[in-house]
Amino acid sequence: MRVVVGVLAVAGLALGVQAPARAAPPDPAKIEAVTEIQDDMWPIKKEYTVGPGEVVPAPLGVQSVDSRPVRGLVAQVEAGESLEFARRYRNCWYTLGSRGEMAWCSFDAVLAPYRTLAITAPMVAASAQARPGAETVLAFRWQSRAWADARGGVREVVDYFAVPGAPVVAGTGALLTLEPRDLPTADIRTNGNHVQVRVAAATPGPSVTPTGGGVGTPSPTPSDSPSATPTATGTPTTTGGSDAAGGSGAAGDPGAAGGLPVTGPNTAAVGAVLLAAGLIGYLSGRRRRNRFES
């Protein structure tokens, strides 16, 4: 057995069997991912609220913390749930990542020492089918071109980070570029960052504007009650509209003469009062008649 093992080992060396590939080196550039913060609330980042179809205006910045220039940059951008890429630039590759749609974009720009560049062009938007009120994340990461080249190039990097089996598509639109932008230094030095995004809630319906009848009390309008017509004093009077039971005003009905018909639980009480008044008048009349007749 030992002889067989030794023969196989020698045969392997003779056939040029290669040792495992050396792990790719870390990024030689010292850079970090930065974005906007809330006014006077460092290091709390700014959050964004956008409606369905609207672009997220967050700047995706890269800042140098290196004394040497960084020649060539690569950005990874991940659109979370309810987000999608509004435009597909020709210097980007698009696929699916673990969080949703993903893009890797390559730039020929040179990042000067201790300076900041950022993606500010429209890139990611809330999808048209996004649920109002939904909260999601737009994540981004920066690397140097040297980091990508050490791993076989940007295309190989995209294949590595893509969901297995997901297609990788090159953009065909305009060239995505970087712009100088002053952004705050992150509290933790890292080349990855993210921003919170909220999909705008549905627009509430129109509210009733008070137009009379007391402070904060809206007066009926023709759209509120088709059978009501405002008077000079702001009190509506009926004009032959349907009553609460669904019937129409007609001759002989108190409502048809411009008054308000007596309806509801107070009708019996009013009738009792009228009956009592009639009986009192009747008895009083009889007493007066009896007194004159005696």
For residue 236, give the nearest of 244, 228, 247 by alpha carbon. Answer: 228
SS3 157: helix
- Any idea how long the chain is? 294
pTM greater than the 0.85 cutoff:
no
CA-atom Rg of the chain in angstroms: 40
For the chain, give every domain's residue range.
24-199
pLDDT along the chain (294 residues), means of 10: 40 36 77 91 90 96 95 97 96 95 98 97 96 96 97 96 96 97 81 95 49 37 39 38 37 35 40 41 40 34
Answer whether 225's CB lies under 8 Å from 203's CB.
Answer: no
Question: How far is it, in rounded angstroms, from Cα 115 to Cα 144?
Answer: 15
Q: State whether CATH 2.60.40.1510 applies to domain 24-199.
A: yes
The secondary structure element, H or E, covering residue 32 is strand 31-34
